[in-house]
Structure 1
Amino acid sequence: MSPAPVAVTGIGLVTAAGIGTAATWSGVCAGESTAAHDPQLAGLPVDISCTVPDFSAAKLVGRRSKLAHDRFVQLALVAAREAVADAGLDPRSWDGTRVAVVLGCGLGGVSTWEAQHHKMIETGATSVSALLIPMLVPNMVAGHVAMDLKATGPNFVTATACASGATAIGSALALLRDDQCDIVVTGGSEAGVSPLIVTGFAQMGALSRRLDDPGAASRPFDVDRDGFVIGEGSGILVLERENDARARGARVRARLAGYGATADAYHMTQPDPEGISVRRALRGALEQAGVGPDEVDHVNAHGTSTPLNDAAESKVLHDLVGARAAVTSTKGVLGHTLGSAGAIEAALTVLAIETSTVPPTANLRAQDPKVELDVVTGQARRQRTEVAVSNSFGFGGQNAVLVFTT
C-alpha cells in the first residue's frame, strides 16, 4: 500500500532577497543577485556575501533575543512563525504533543563563538557569556522553535553540511508516514557569514574571487564560474498528512512525494564526478514518489557555481532527466546558504509548482557547453509544473533529493 500523501501547507522564508516569502519569491523571480561587499568581511581575501537586509531581531523576534539567540536561531524563529501562520495554524490551540520540529543546520552559532572567543582573549575568561554553549550548539535552533511554538513532539537537528535542510525535510516526511506526529515544522537555518568561516572557505578555493563585480560572482552553470558566494537565511515548511490538512480546510500548496538519500564515500569536499550515488538518490526519490525521470518538469538544482559540483550534477541530470525539465539554480540570486540551502530551495520549488513559474538562473551569460540541460536564464519562465525535484549535496558526499508534485 502506498504511503499517505503529505501536504505542504505553510512556507516561511528569510533570505538575502528579503524578509518573508513574498519578498524572497519576488527577488528570486527577478533574477538579480543580492551579493555585495560586506563590511564585516573587510580586509579578508574574499569580502562579498549575500546577507538578509534590514533584519532587526529586536523587532522581529523580541527585545531580549540578542541576549539568548545567535543569528541562525533568530532567522529560523521569524521563518517558522511565518510558515505556521501561512498554514492557518495557531500554536495556542493545537495539540503540541503531536507537533514535531525537525530542522537542518550545518554550522550553528559561529558568530557567537567568534565574538566570545575574541572577548576571552581580550578581556579574560570571566567575560565570556554564560549562554555561550546554548547559543552556539546547532540543536538549539530546533529547541528554540519548539519553545516558541509550544511543540513538544519529536525534536532534532540534522547536520549533513549543505544538504542539511533537505535531510531535515526528508526526515520529517518519515515521521509523518510513521505516525509519530500530525504536523512537522521543518526546514533549515544558517548564519555562517563570519570572518573565520568565510576565510576557511576562501582558503580551500571554494569562493568566487570576482570581487570587482560582486553581483556577477555567483553564476551557476556558466562557463566562467569560479566558486560560490556565501549567504545566510532560513526556509521553513509546514508538513501534514494531506487528509488531515483537507479535513481542517487548509490550502495544499504542493505535495512532498519522495525523498532519496545516499553517500558518495568518495572525497571530503569534492563530488564523485560520475555522480553514481547522486543517481541513486534521485532514482530513489522518484520511485518513492511513483513517477519516472521522464515526468520531471522542473529541477531546482544544487547549482553552487563551483566548477566540479555543477559539472557532476549536470551530468546526472542530463543522463536521467534529459532536456525536458526546466532547470534553475537560485544560488545565483541568494548565494549559497550552506545548511539552510536545501530548505530554502525546497520552499522555492513548492512556489514554482504553485505559481507555474520557474525562476531564472542569475548571471548565466555563457552556459558551459558540457552542461547539456535546459537551464532557465534571463527571466522567469511561465510553465505548468506537476513534478519537481530539489537537489542538495554536502561536504562528506552526503546527498539528499526531494520530489514535490501537484
Structure 2
Amino acid sequence: MFVDKVKVYVKGGDGGNGMVAFRREKYVPFGGPAGGDGGRGGDVVFEVDEGLRTLMDFRYQKHFKAKRGENGRSKSQHGAGGEDKIVKVPPGTVVRDADTGELIADLTEHGQRAVIARGGRGGRGNIRFATPVNPAPEIAENGEPGQERWVDLELKLLADVGLIGYPSVGKSTLLAAVSAARPKIGAYHFTTIVPNLGVVQVEDGRSFVMADLPGLIEGAHEGVGLGHQFLRHVERTKVLVHVIDMAGSEGRDPYEDWQKINEEIKLYRQDLELRPQIVAANKMDLPDAEEYLELFKEQVGPDVPVYPISAATRQGLRELLFAVADLLDQVEKEGPAEPVMEQEFTATRKIYKAEEEKPAFTIRRENEVYVVEGERIEKLVHMTNFNYHDSILRFAHTLKKMGVEDALRERGAKDGDTIRIGELEFELTDAADF
C-alpha cells in the first residue's frame, strides 16, 4: 500500500524542574543556595532516510514525543537534557502545520534534518535567583512545556522523469518495458492508483529514475479523480514524458488529450507549464495510428518533440530513452530556474507589522470568573513552583509588573473575585499578591 499523505502529532520534551537546595557542608555556615537547573527537553526531529519510499509507517504510529529533561539536583548540579526523538521520513516529504498550513520543512536529501517540535527549556534552580537583598531565595522554576502541534506530512516523489497522460494510454506498460519495475497493468481505467518507480538504463550507460503516475482526467486540478494525489508528484520531476494514445483506441482525439492534460497541469501550478516535456506517441502498432500521428504533428507544431513508440512491441523505445536522457542532461546542466525550497518558502513568507502584534494578555468573563489568557502569562503559571512562598511573591510581582492587576480593576474586578489563568484559580486581593 502506498501512502503519501498523513497527519501526526508531535511534542517536544518538557524542561526539567529547577531545585531549591542549600549547601549543608561542615564548617560552611550559611552556605547559600545550591539548587541546580533542570535539563532542556528533547526535540522532535525528522530525518530523511533514502531507504523509505512511503509514509506507511505513520498509519500505525501517529504520536511522537521527545524525552523530558531531568530535574535539577542539590550541590548545584544541573539536570541532563532530554534525548531527541528522531523520526525517519522518506525523501520528498513536505511538513506543514496542520492548523495554519505554514510550511515547516521540505526534506529532500538523505540525512537532512529538521526540528519539528522544540523541547522546553529547563527551569532555573535557586542558585539563579540569589541577590544581595535575598541571598538565600526559596525560588525555583518548573520546566517549560515542550512545543506540541499536529502536522501534515505530504510525500512528493523524487523522480527525474514523470509519465503523464490520460488513464489507459500505456504509461505502466512503458515503464515495465524500459525498467525492472512491474506495475499493475490492466485493460481498464485507473489500473495504476499509486505511483510506481523504476530505474531506466540507457545503452550508453546513463540512467535515470522514471515514475509512472496515476492517470489524469479533466478537473484533476480541483481534485477530481486522483487529481491531487497525482499532481503533487509531478512537481518534483525534472522532465515530463507525455504519453498519448496515438491510435485513439478509446474514441478520444490525441490532440485534445494533449491539450487537456497540459491545461490541468497549468491550472494546478502555473510554473509546471514550463517543465521540459517530450511526447511519447504510443500504440503505433494499432490501425490509424500513422494517420493520427501526422495530423498531431501538424497541430502541435515543430517545437514539440514527438517520438512514435509502441510500448507493447518495444518499437521506438531506444530513440525515446536517448532523447529523454539528453534532455535530462541539458536540464541538469542549466539547473532549475527556481529551487523548490525557495518557491515553497516564498509562497508562505509573512510580513509582520508593529500594529499587528498580539497583546501580552486578554481578559474575558465566564459568569463570575475573570479569565486571563495569553501565551506568556500561561507559561509563567506553568513554570512557577507554588510550593515556595518566595516563588509566589515573584509570580505576583511579575503579574503586577505586566499590568494584569490594573487591567482586571478596569474590567470591574473587585477584592474577593475569582481570577483564572490556565488551570490556576485565585482571589483578587488588596495586597495584589494574589
Q: Under TM normalisation by the shorter chain, which class is it?
A: under 0.3
Higher Cα Rg, which structure: 2
Greater RCO (CA < 8 Å, at least 6 residues apart): 1
User: Larger % of helix: which?
Assistant: 1
TM-score normalised according to structure 2 size: 0.24
TM-score normalised according to structure 1 size: 0.25
